[in-house]
């Protein structure tokens, strides 16, 4: 029994600061981060995923495209392989349990079967018993990449449809149970997209930098610092704060330039560093009914 009140949106617009929690309160829960491309999770949610895995979640990484267009080599095949290996490395760096590469062609997802993608996600959500997803905002403004919104809209629909007992009955016959995803963190990928949750990742700055650094083939951070360090050296110059080795140069470039907006957002909320999300949690639409029954029911 539930009361559906489409006008009651104000609670979703209240800004919540999600802070570190002790004693692994999420033990037993499962999250899935669904990205279209190898650089999405590192840029948009790596700090929060690292935080939630430290707090007890088990995590799975689902990658929808094959990333064939994004990398410095002329070969599509080499580009796919380099990105695929970096996604596997990303999963290891952040502590994901397993990676699922769905393999749709890069930049072409708006031509793929929406039904097939949704069915594959429903199967994964039921199989892995996913409680919480991270992905793009399916209705976020200024999103120009079809891989992003196609992925997000399939995730959005699969979250509730995975909990229905008449969708894909053959999956149930194979031993799976209906299982709805109840929590969604939609990351902010473009300027102007909304957020109602700011997650304190002050303790996860280094894992976020490590995740971005893994992504050398297409990411904005990967090995830029060491490349700039070599260019400076060729002119007889160096940056003392970027250290003496390539790894330090890469990390300090990412810290200063790539995640500068995360430090700025954190400072606006009294935190060291932060990631923003549009968060949708379990519905409390039936609270009014439960409160009414608890208050008014009397013995027969």
Q: Which CB atom, from 18 or from 40, has the smaller least distance to Zn ion?
A: 40
The least CB distance from residue 111 to Zn ion, in Å, is 17
Q: Which long-range contacts (CB under 8 A, 24 or more apart) does 222-226 make?
A: 222/250, 223/250, 224/250, 224/253, 225/249, 225/250, 225/251, 225/252, 225/253, 225/254, 226/250
Give the burial string for 129-159 (b: 16+ CB within 10 Å, else e). Answer: ebbbbbbbbbebeebebebbbbbbbbbbbbb
Q: Is the dihedral of CA 253, 256, 257, 263 positive or negative?
A: positive
Candidate segments 5-13, 38-46, 63-71, 199-207, binder of Zn ion by CB under 5 A: 38-46
Give whichever of 67 and 89 is closer to Zn ion, judged by the CB atom.
67
- Tell me if 61 contacts Zn ion by CB under 5 A: no
Q: Decide whether 149 or 242 has the Cβ nearer to Zn ion.
A: 149
Q: Is the CB of 266 or the CB of 276 nearer to Zn ion?
A: 276
Examine residue 40 and tell whether it contacts Zn ion (CB under 5 A).
yes
Show Cβ contacts of residue 174 under 8 Å, excluding neighbours closer than 6 positions.
Answer: none
Candidate ranges 36-44, 169-177, 196-204, 207-215; the one touching Zn ion (CB under 5 A): 36-44
Residues in 166-225 at the binding interface with Zn ion, rule: CB under 5 A: none
Q: Is 36 in the site for Zn ion (CB under 5 A)?
A: yes
**Residue closer to Zn ion, measured from CB, 37 or 51:** 37
Chain contacts with Zn ion (rule: CB under 5 A): 36-37, 40
């Amino acid at each position: 029994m539930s009361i559906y009140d489409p006008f009651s949106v104000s609670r979703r617009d209240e800004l919540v600061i999600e802070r570190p929690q002790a004693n692994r309160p999420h033990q037993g829960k499962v999250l899935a981060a669904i990205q279209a491309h190898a650089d999405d999770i590192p840029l948009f949610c790596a700090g929060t995923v690292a935080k939630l895995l430290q707090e007890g979640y088990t995590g799975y990484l689902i990658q929808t495209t094959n990333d064939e267009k994004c990398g410095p080599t002329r070969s599509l095949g080499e580009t796919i392989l380099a990105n695929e290996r970096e996604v596997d490395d990303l999963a290891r760096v952040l502590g994901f349990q397993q990676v699922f590469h769905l393999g749709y062609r890069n930049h072409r997802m708006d031509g793929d079967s929406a039904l097939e993608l949704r069915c594959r996600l429903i199967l994964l959500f039921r199989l892995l018993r996913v409680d919480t997803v991270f992905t793009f905002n399916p209705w976020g403004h200024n999103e120009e990449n079809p891989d992003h919104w196609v992925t997000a809209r399939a995730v959005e629909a699969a979250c509730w449809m995975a909990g229905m007992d008449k969708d894909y009955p053959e999956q149930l016959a194979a031993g799976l149970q209906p299982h709805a995803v109840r929590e969604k963190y939609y990351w902010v990928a473009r300027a102007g997209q909304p957020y109602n949750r700011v997650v304190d990742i002050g303790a996860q700055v280094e894992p976020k930098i490590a995740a971005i650094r893994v992504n050398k083939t297409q990411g904005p951070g990967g090995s830029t610092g060491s490349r700039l360090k070599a260019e400076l050296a060729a002119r007889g110059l160096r940056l003392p704060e970027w250290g003496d080795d390539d790894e330090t140069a890469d990390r300090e470039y990412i810290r200063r330039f790539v995640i500068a907006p995360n430090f700025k957002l954190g400072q606006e909320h009294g935190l060291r560093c932060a990631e923003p999300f549009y968060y949708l949690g379990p519905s409390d639409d039936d609270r009014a009914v439960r409160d009414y029954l608890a208050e008014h029911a009397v013995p027969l």
